[in-house]
Amino acid sequence: MGKGHLRRHVVVNRGSSAALALLAILILVVIVAGVQWWMKSHKPDPDTAENLPVWKEWRLREESEKPAAKMREEQPKLIKALEYDANVELPGTGEARGEVGMAISAEGQVFGNWHGNYYNSKKANCDIQGGAFEGKVFPGKIYRDEKGEDLSKLYFLARGKFMMHETEFGKGQYHIHAGDIYVRGWLSPDMGVSSEITITSDEKYSETFKWQVSRPVKN
């Protein structure tokens, strides 16, 4: 076999290897694009997904490309701003967990603040230094319970940051807690609100408090 034939054989092999490498890259790109399309097309609907931690619901709504739903005839009419002021409680105990002030604008924007000072099981004092949040109403979400659906309620969800100073009496220790605060709940046709506040620093451990009020401070 001549040297010239050997060189041609090497050149042909190199060309085949480059073509195979290019083909493998193209196949990989197609697979990645297909997976991304599948994940995007199979994301849960934030208005129907059930039992989601509130931070997952918030991210799902941020990523959703679903068009904003229109207000239903049965839902509360947001003609002007509604303002609320209520005590916050630990569920099942009635223990105080500060206060919340919240407003819902005529355009459906939600904003407010969790604030106050309270005792945690009489073992520690908690001073809330910051708990502002912002969000909006989501008319597409339907209220459901053991009695069935209630199309007349209007859902809202908001998010912000909190900071709390905690002093433990027996140990004489002082802690600063900070993280995310989420507020979600329902506005009824009579303009009453039933809601919960969730605070978390790492999305692994969280605390949830309840608040409700039968009417706005200003209507």
Using one digit for the tens of pLDDT, what is the confidence trace for 156-211? 999 999 999 999 988 788 999 999 999 999 999 999 999 999 999 999 999 999 99
Percent of the chain with pLDDT over 70: 85
- Residue-range domain boundaries for the chain: 1-42, 54-213
Cα of first residue to Cα of last residue in the chain, in angstroms, is 97
The pLDDT value recorded for residue 149 is: 92
Residues whose CB falls within 8 Å of the CB of residue 141, separated by 6 or more in sequence, listed in order? 46, 47, 48, 155
pLDDT of residue 99 exceeding 70: yes
Mean pLDDT, residues 57-70 taken together = 91
Mean pLDDT of the residues in the chain: 87
Can you give the pLDDT at residue 171?
Answer: 76
* pLDDT at 83 (0 to 100): 97
User: Greater confidence, 110 or 48?
Assistant: 110
Pick the CATH number of 54-213 from 1.10.405, 2.40.160, 3.40.630, 3.40.50: 2.40.160
| Lowest mean pLDDT segment, chosen from 13-17, 63-67, 72-76, 82-86 | 13-17
Distances (CA, A) of 20 to 14, 25, 45, 189: 10, 9, 41, 65
Provide the residue type at 170 as one letter: G
Q: What is the pTM of this model?
A: 0.79
The pLDDT tens digits for 72-98 are 999 999 999 999 999 999 998 989 999
**Ordered DSSP codes for 78-110:** --S-EEEEEEEE-TTT--EEEEEEEEE-TTSEE
Q: Is the pLDDT of residue 35 over 70?
A: no
What pLDDT is recorded for position 121? 76
